Chain A
Amino acid sequence: MEITNVLFSGVGGQGIILASKILTKCAFDSGYMVKESELHGMAQRGGSVTSHVRFGEEVYSPLIHKGKADFLVALEELEGLRYAFYLKPDGKVILNQKRVVPSSINPAVAPYPEDVKHQLEHMGFHVDSVNAFEIANNLGNPKLDNIIVMGILSRYLPFTISTWETVIKESVPVKTIEINLVAFGKGREIAEGKT
């Protein structure tokens, strides 16, 4: 059986570690061999971060080969573009329409990229673009955008909805379980509209 490779990218503090951990547990609970790799410490302080998740029958490397990722889950636009080279030729991008402009940016040398979705599509990738931040805000908590994006990702992966929901319940603070499940459901609805 083929291995499925999912790369998460974003800005440290956006909830990438939680998102990749949820996916990892879903894969494991669904009977797959799974490995995940993440970064802690200095890198988490608002820097560019990635997490790798690989699942299948037999998985060795915890890191994805460049050019072999099936999915890129980008919680931020610039970080989506930055790690697009990890994708396989017909790879899929789930792009959160969120722009976090680096504080050290020098527009004369390297401006914040425009029209990231179009650029990714031009590279040949299928892009699901969603303003998860706005949806999350409407739900009353802008930090839910990672879970909304996971809802979209879930439509492409072979895990049951009850597996996803069980793992989310186990992974988020007790007080926020309900709102996280709502956010996840929103993401799934969006994806259903698109697929």
Chain B
Amino acid sequence: MKLNQVNQEIIMLGDDAIGRGAIEAGISLATSYPGTPATQILEYIAHNFDGEVEWAVNEKVSLETAIGASYAGKRALCSMKHVGLNVASDALMTAAYLGIKGGLVLAVSDDPSAYSSQNEQDSRFYAKFAKIPCLEPCDSQEAKDMTIMAFELSEKMGLPVMLRTVTRICHAYSPVRLGTVREQNPLLLRKDPANMIAVPSNVLRCHRNLIEKQEGLRIWGEKSGLNRTFKNGRKKGIIACGIGYVYAKEYGPEYAILKISYYPFAETLIKDFVEGLEEIWVLEEGEPFMEEIARRYSTKVKGKISGEISITGELGPDVLSEYIPDWNTGQRSYMPSKPLPARPPVLCPGCPHSKLYTALKAVKPTFTAGDIGCYTLGANPPYQIVDTCLCMGAGISKAAGISKQGVKRVAAVIGDSTFIHSGIPALINAVYNKANILVLILDNSAVAMTGNQPTPLTGITAKGEEGGKISLEELCRSCGVNSIEVVDPFEVEKTKAILKEKLDAQGVNVVISRRPCVFVTRRLAKMRRKAITHIHPEKRAQ
């Protein structure tokens, strides 16, 4: 660990700052499933922390592992992208009832504008839904500081705490002053059946406890100073949540600002702020979560509900520009005279998926249900072979649903990591309910889209060390599929022949298309080297 950097100010990616904050807070475990824009949180910790760092197979397993560490009295960080929380929500909702032991922080990164996501959902609703507190930083420094505060709050209140960030926090650099690393909690695993076993005889009491904690959460928030008002007799104001604060500051000193970095809060905070203001803007990423509250206390509130700001897409620094007199003076519009060709993302040159898609297209499946990963790009020209994409693991189930209506030659396409994440239950379901589908597992030996993280199929851990190794063939075989074939997608003719045969076959037939991502070999070699030099500096000389 780079302890020599304590008190030094460095420039940091938001994700790195969260990772650093977790290390400074004395975590004993970090766990995550890769997902843009949250991926680098765990990667930073893997490179800079001696303790347990894990890529989990999915977000639910990740959160449950973190809860286990918390039960052992330790602090744990669980990070994920916004849609990952849908997967983990089952664990979250009841974990909030039961409460936790060692501090547990859930760092969730939203992706407004869906730059690299299937939707742009707002995680603040989950915090409210689960009745857990939520902290929302506006830059890297706050991301680090609030991660540490979140751990303190978590242990004080016995609740998981959410740290909500967005793409422009996670993937933005700004200065951060590094702090000292707190000692880890001692191991303290105690049985507490009344608060560890979610059965009917316990849960109503646990729910009451959770409700009773809410007042304490509001009081903690007030004392924390995370929500601050800068007013001083101004006529116009901005309620700015999370990153909304830095955008609000761009519009100059004539705006009063209510900076919101913490939920839940007493609504008198909003009531007092809007009082006397002639114009109130609400700047928040995602849904009009705050605006709904503010509208109860003033008719002068403008934002996404009133329609001036779009609910879709990220805020950016320009959302208020057109409503501010003189802001755009002197600007001209520099649009080219002719429309410009679009440039959607494409599969990289030499990508094994592109060869596979060439073969799949040639054998003309009736319908191809895709999944989440680089291979989703098969929906775009020139392939246009992926007909649907919904969420992690959904391809196999959707294909089965279509096939069960009597449609023949239906294919599902799923990546190796996505298959492990949530494709396995879908495969078992398809076998059990006797669907007739071709399941194509694209095994490129990595979570490619997020930067080639290792998977259980590679047997390499987050730190680049030797882990347990899972065999995809044996896994599928044990699910009871009718047949398993392994092809090299670069052998296009052979691949075509097998795909054709299996599309026409009865039952659930798996074809594994196996060839590593073009970047993976290099990346994994580099990871191993880094892990050795960062984690074991003494090995450097070897």
Contact = CB atoms under 8 A, between A and B. Distances in A.
Interface of A: 11-13, 21, 24-25, 28, 33-48, 59-67, 78-79, 81-82, 84-85, 87-89, 102-106, 109-113, 119, 123-124
B250 interface: yes
B246 A61 contact: yes
A47 B11 CA distance: 27
B339 A109 contact: yes
A24 B11 contact: yes
Given A33-B175, A34-B175, A11 B335 contact: no
Interface in B334-361: 334-348
A64 B317 contact: yes
A37 B168 contact: yes
B171 A60 contact: no
Contacts of B39: 40-41
A59 B337 CA distance: 34
A46 B342 CA distance: 12
Nearest to A107: B341
Given A39-B167, A104-B380, A84 B341 contact: no
Contact of B343 (A28, A44, A48, A59): A48
B358 to A, nearest CB: 14
A104 B340 CA distance: 12
Given A11-B343, A78-B341, A40 B37 contact: yes
Contacts of B542: none
Nearest to A111: B341
A110 B342 contact: yes
Given A24-B11, A40-B39, A85 B333 contact: yes
Contact of A41 (B330, B331, B449): B449
Interface in B294-349: 316-318, 321, 328, 330-348
B141 to A, nearest CB: 11
B36 A40 contact: yes
A47 B345 contact: yes
Contact of B345 (A34, A42, A106): A42
A80 to B, nearest CB: 10
Contacts of A85: 333-335
Nearest to B321: A65
Nearest to B169: A62
Interface of B: 10-11, 36-37, 39-40, 115-117, 139, 167-168, 171-175, 246-247, 249-250, 316-318, 321, 328, 330-348, 374, 377, 380-382, 449-451
A81 B336 CA distance: 7
Given A35-B139, A39-B116, A113-B338, A28 B168 contact: no
A45 B346 contact: yes
Nearest to A79: B343
Residue in A12, A13, A33, A41 with the greatest tally of chain B CB atoms within 10 Å: A41
Given A40-B37, A65-B317, A102 B343 contact: yes
B172 A41 contact: no
Contacts of B247: 60-61
B450 A62 contact: no
Given A13-B348, A65-B317, 17 more contacts: A33-B175, A34-B173, A35-B172, A39-B116, A40-B116, A41-B36, A41-B37, A42-B117, A47-B343, A62-B174, A65-B250, A66-B318, A79-B343, A82-B340, A105-B341, A109-B339, A123-B334
Given A40-B451, A82-B340, A45 B317 contact: no
Contacts of B139: 35, 62
What are the nearest 8 A-B pairs in CB distance? A41-B116, A41-B36, A47-B345, A42-B116, A45-B345, A61-B317, A60-B249, A62-B172
Nearest to A45: B345
Contacts of A39: 115-116, 167, 171
A119 to B, nearest CB: 6
Contacts of A34: 11, 173-175
A44 B115 CA distance: 10
A175 to B, nearest CB: 12
A110 B338 contact: yes
Contacts of A119: 336-337
B228 to A, nearest CB: 15
A47 B342 CA distance: 9
B250 A61 contact: yes
A63 B139 CA distance: 12
User: Which of the listed residues B171, B247, B249 has the most CB atoms from chain A within 10 Å of its own CB?
Assistant: B171
Contacts of B37: 40-41
Contacts of A111: 338, 341
B334 A102 contact: no
Contact of A37 (B172, B328, B451): B172
A60 B345 contact: no
A65 B139 CA distance: 18
Contacts of A35: 139, 172-174
B340 A81 contact: yes
Contacts of A28: 10-11, 175
